[in-house]
Amino acid sequence: MTRQHLKVAVIGGGSSYTPELIEGILRYHDEFPVRELVLADIEAGAEKLAIVADLARRMIARSGKEIALRTTLDRREAIAGADFVTTQLRVGMLEARSLDEKIPLSHRLIGQETTGAGGFAKALRTVPVILDICRDMEELAPDAFLVNFTNPAGLVTEAVLKHSRIKTVGLCNLPIDTKMQIAALYGVEPERVFIEMAGINHLHWTTRVLLDGADVTDSFLKTLGSGKGLTVKNVPDLEWDAAFITSLGALPCSYHRYYYMKNEMLAELASDFERTGRTRADEVKSVEAELFDIYRRPEVTEKPKQLEKRGGAYYSEAAVRLMKSIYADKGDIQVVNVRNGGIVSCLPDDASIEVNCVIKADGAHPLQLKAPLSPQIRGLLQLVKSYEELTIEAAVRGDRHAALQALTIHPLVGDAALAKAVLADILEANAAYLPQFAALVP
């Protein structure tokens, strides 16, 4: 990619995360010369879009960089002629997320926005919208890359790979956050740490940790087993059992707590909800209200520190690092979501996986794993990937049979009667966003 005047379109530009992205674009502007930045949103998000855009303009002015920033409620206008399109949207906004968390809890199931029944509901709403964006890109920016940050990121990436012709890479901040936390545990610069990750989004394992080229995986896992765990903002921080970590032989990601500590996590979430009547979505609403109050202040010209409470650590680092590496044909290694193509041998070739990739001008190229995945990893991975395949079919075709089977086999549901009941509640609560199901009889 040799263009010197890059256009980036941000779909979901009114998100509270956008100042994080702006910060990254400004930080790396010499290497990633964005000249046109278009923030797009929907009518319901117009007020937030205007507030975020005003802050972004102040940030740009403070930096002295030559970036023309525009806003629009016309997604096609934003996409036309773009070099990169990023997606950070939430269909139904935080009200829908609140239901994604509360509906499962009403059935004594874990309610979480990216996995289990909650993640399933979000996927049903999200996949059709993302594919509509892809169709716009095929028409208006056929050579652009879609950089998808929208959750469930791996499942969405797989839907794009299977149902569109555009170039896409799925992205999550969890891999880079993990690397940063490991580096902090060792008290070294992140550049001295290499981690091998394998799996799918929010269900990946760190299978190797290298420090200055030396394999320190075993000693690292012992450190982890001593209670020094890795955490993220939106997952309860329960300590890993040392014997379990030793027997697993790999570092589970934070979201694995929902699978490996299912009963404890459910008890924690249910107890919090019963005590407060609030879920993480309600907490995020409060955080966002505080953030937008800050964003409105004309004296604010940089990303406020309070944004850290929203989660999404290293979002700008991950997003801009990926785009600038594609732009520069850099050939560095990053952990992203791509088509499997035989790298993880126990999964279908057309599945989306989250692994170490070489980033070139034509996209992300997955690296071969040092060893096949062990049975203790393979079993859970195959099960959740099957859930994702069925969920994509349900989202694209409005297939209730696929939807019921997806929920039934998911480890956080795992019961046909429960799956049928929670599916009925999800379809009813989200009817306005799920027209693909309207014409079909259960």
Active site residue 255: yes
Nearest to 269 by CA among 429, 154, 117: 117
- Got the DSSP string for 21-68? HHHHHHHTTTTS-EEEEEEE--GGGHHHHHHHHHHHHHHHHHHT---E
C-alpha 237/C-alpha 373 separation (Å) is 26
Nearest to 202 by CA among 281, 146, 118, 144: 118
SS3 category, 102 = helix
Which DSSP symbol is given to 381? H
Alpha helix positions (H), 107-237: 116-140, 153-163, 174-186, 217-225
C-alpha 328/C-alpha 39 separation (Å) is 24
Displacement of CA 433 from its chain's centroid (Å): 20
Q: Which of 17, 28, 186, 255 is catalytic?
A: 255
In contact, 164 and 133? CB cutoff 8 Å: no
C-alpha 164/C-alpha 137 separation (Å) is 10
Q: Scanning the structure block, which residue is given the tokens 């349900």?
A: 394
Provide, for the chain, the percentages of residues in helix, strand and coil under a 3-state DSSP scheme, each rounded to the nearest 5.
50, 15, 30
Instruction: Please give the positions annotated as active site.
Output: 255
